[in-house]
Amino acid sequence: MNDEVGGNQRRARFQALCQSLRPDLLRFAFWLSRDRALAEDVVQESMLRAWKARDSLLDETAAKPWLLTIIRREYARTFERKRLPTVSVDELVAKEEPMLAAAEEQNINDVRAALMKLPDEYREPLVLQVLMGYSTAEIARELELSGPAVLTRLYRARQQLRAACGEDLSLDPQE
């Protein structure tokens, strides 16, 4: 009886935790996959995996990075399980237009369109840094890269985005 009450409390607590983190998790999954439906599937599956592996979460304050790691792995598994159809970036942008066009300002939509076209290897560390607040060391650990490799990717990500958005690059460092 006590076990059942404890189990229910634990479920409710986990449910509340997932609920509070859901927007950020979905945004992360969306920018990984650039596909809202796939992002929702990945997050849902990840939460189930997280529940099964809940004993490995020793500190609840670390829940967000823990869940983000599970989401990255789950997204990778999606490709292992089935070969997703190849879709051009323009098709992806068109497909996600309702989500991307939600911003009122055109200049935000320009950045979103450029983000959709950014290579995965640049987009992922950028999302972790800007959206999730990861430090360079944390990104390096998550992506299994060296610190300098992370900084290079972040530099190139911003360089490509700014160029795509028509920013003034006259003061940019020349490579």
Binding of residue 93 to another protein (CB under 8 A): no
**List of residues 6+ apart from 139 with CB closer than 8 A:** 125, 128, 129, 145, 150
**Segment near another protein (CB under 8 A), from 8-16, 59-67, 84-92?**
8-16
Q: Which is nearer to another protein, 62 or 155 (CB)?
A: 155
- Rounded distance between C-alpha atoms, residue 19 and residue 124, angstroms: 23
How far does CA 104 lie from the centroid of its chain? 23
Give the CA angle between residues 118, 31, 119 to the nearest 5°: 20
**Among candidate residues 12, 10, 30, the one with its CA nearest the CA of residue 20:** 12
Which of 1, 3, 19, 61 is the binder for another protein (CB under 8 A)?
19
Q: How far is the CB of 6 from another protein (least distance, A)?
A: 14
N-terminal to C-terminal alpha carbon distance within the chain: 67
**Segment near another protein (CB under 8 A), from 59-67, 86-94, 161-169?**
161-169
- Rounded distance between C-alpha atoms, residue 64 and residue 110, angstroms: 29
Interface with another protein (CB under 8 A), residue total 60
Maximum C-alpha span of the chain: 70
Residues 109-128 interacting with another protein (rule: CB under 8 A): 109, 111-112, 115, 126-127
**List of residues 6+ apart from 63 with CB closer than 8 A:** 17, 21, 57
Residues 125-144 interacting with another protein (rule: CB under 8 A): 126-127, 129-131, 136, 141, 144
Binding of residue 13 to another protein (CB under 8 A): no
Q: Which residues of the chain form contacts with another protein (CB under 8 A)? A: 8, 11, 14-15, 18-19, 22-23, 26-27, 30-31, 44, 47-48, 51, 53, 55-56, 72-73, 76-77, 80, 99-100, 102-103, 107-109, 111-112, 115, 126-127, 129-131, 136, 141, 144-146, 149, 151-152, 154-155, 158-159, 161-162, 165, 167-168, 171-174
